[in-house]
Structure 1
Amino acid sequence: MLISNELRWFYPGKLPDNIQVWFCANCLIDPLKSPEEREDIYLYSPGCDYLGIKLRQGRLEVKWRQAELDVMDFGELATGKAEKWGKWLCDDSKGESFQPAIVLGNPSWITVQKVRYSQLFQVFADFSVQAVATNEPIDNGCSVEITNLAVQENAWWSLAFEAFGEDSRRQENLKATANWVFHTYRNSTLAIADSFGYPHWLGLICR
């Protein structure tokens, strides 16, 4: 089981150019790196914002919120609510299960197309932060991403942090990374009213 402390914001419309330029210039090791493109299929459960189930690249992911954590402020431009999530991954080595064709045409499953820029950060014992290669094994860290989302012919974008590591450090890993990232942020306000996880977001776009 994977445990992460997360902080997310969601907004309608295409990712603003100024935020994409800021993220690529200030957060990525390689600002010219191409974004990841993929399609995830989510099971929509009305009224349930604490459980996420999706098909992703030939596997099933089940994610549930274990706790609602602190409200976090990062200057005047960013306020969000952290949440603790657990995740199970289920793979089929034969490739016979967890394929999109299984749920094709079922209105309870929602297809979300994603174009994502992401960067992994290592958090050291003194809570200093350093960007590292995605495949580098680290014990305490946080991934940061901005994502263009397309669902039901509607465009959205998201900014997210996912911190991992020792139980006693995970929230501080999140805080240290977000402080490092936001010290160069000069764009539109990220409000607590727009800070929530994917299940809540699906409830907004599917109602």
Structure 2
Amino acid sequence: MLTSHELRWFYPDTIPQDVVVWFQQNCLINPMEPPEKREDVYLCVPDSDYMGIKLRQGRLEIKWRQAEFGVVCFGESVEGKAEKWGKWSCSDRTGESFQVATVANHAYWVNIQKVRYLRQYQFLQNNSVKPIINDASIDNVCSVEITQLVIQNQPWWSLAFEALGTDDCLMDNLQVTADCVLSTYQGPKLIAANSYAYPHWLGYVCKIAT
């Protein structure tokens, strides 16, 4: 099982241009490097914001919320809800299982198109962080991502932090990275009411669509 501490926000519409520019400039993203594009398929489970199930590139992934830490603030314009999640991943080397085609006609499975910019930071022993510039294996990292989403033909965008590593460092990793990255943030205010994980967001979007 993989354990993470996370912060995430969801907002309707396309990513504001000032947020894209901020992310590219301050998270050291190369504007000439294309973002990751993929399509994931999620199981929408009504009234279950503590569990997420999805098919991703031939794998079945299950996430389970293990704890809620309440609202954390970063300056005057950013507040979000920190959570602890556990993730299990299962793949089939034969390629016969966990295929999108097997759930294509089931109403509770929802396709989500994603265009994602990602940057990773290493959490250091002196409670600072530095950008990771290669794919070397590092114990304590925090991924920062900004993602354009399309669900049921509706555009949304998300900003997220996901800290991974040793259990005793996860919360410090998350908070120190978010403090560093968000210190230059000047986009629209990020509020706790819009801070939640994918299961809650899926439940909300699927509910208003019915």
What TM-score bracket applies, with the shorter chain setting the length? over 0.9
* Other-structure match for 1:178: 178
Q: Alpha carbons of 1:3 and 1:190: their partners in 2 closer, same or farther (altered >3 Å)?
A: same
**Contact 1:28–1:118 (Cα < 8 Å) also in 2:** no
Instruction: Count matched residues.
Output: 207
**Contact 1:24–1:32 (Cα < 8 Å) also in 2:** no
- TM-score, normalised to structure 2's length? 0.96
Q: Aligned residues: percent identity?
A: 55
**Contact 1:42–1:53 (Cα < 8 Å) also in 2:** yes
* Other-structure match for 1:116: 116
Query: Which digits, 9 at most, give the CA deviation of each residue in 1:160-188, with x for residues without a partner?
Result: 00001111110000000000101111111
**Contact 2:23–2:29 (Cα < 8 Å) also in 1:** no
Counterpart CA distance in 2 for 1:199 and 1:108 is 12
| 3-state SS, counterpart of residue 203 of structure 1 | helix
Please provide the CA RMSD for this pair: 0.9
* Other-structure match for 2:11: 11
Structure 2, unaligned stretches of length 5 or more?
A: none
Counterpart CA distance in 2 for 1:180 and 1:34 is 24
**Contact 2:42–2:109 (Cα < 8 Å) also in 1:** yes
1:123 shift after superposition: 0.6
Query: Which digits, 9 at most, give the CA deviation of each residue in 1:135-174, with x for residues without a partner?
Result: 2211111000000000001000000000011111100000
1:134 shift after superposition: 5.7
* Other-structure match for 2:70: 70
Amino acid at match of 1:65: R
1:30 shift after superposition: 2.7
**Contact 2:148–2:155 (Cα < 8 Å) also in 1:** yes
Counterpart CA distance in 2 for 1:122 and 1:31 is 22
Structure 1, unaligned stretches of length 5 or more?
A: none
1:29 shift after superposition: 4.6
* Other-structure match for 1:151: 151
Counterpart CA distance in 1 for 2:102 and 2:89 is 18
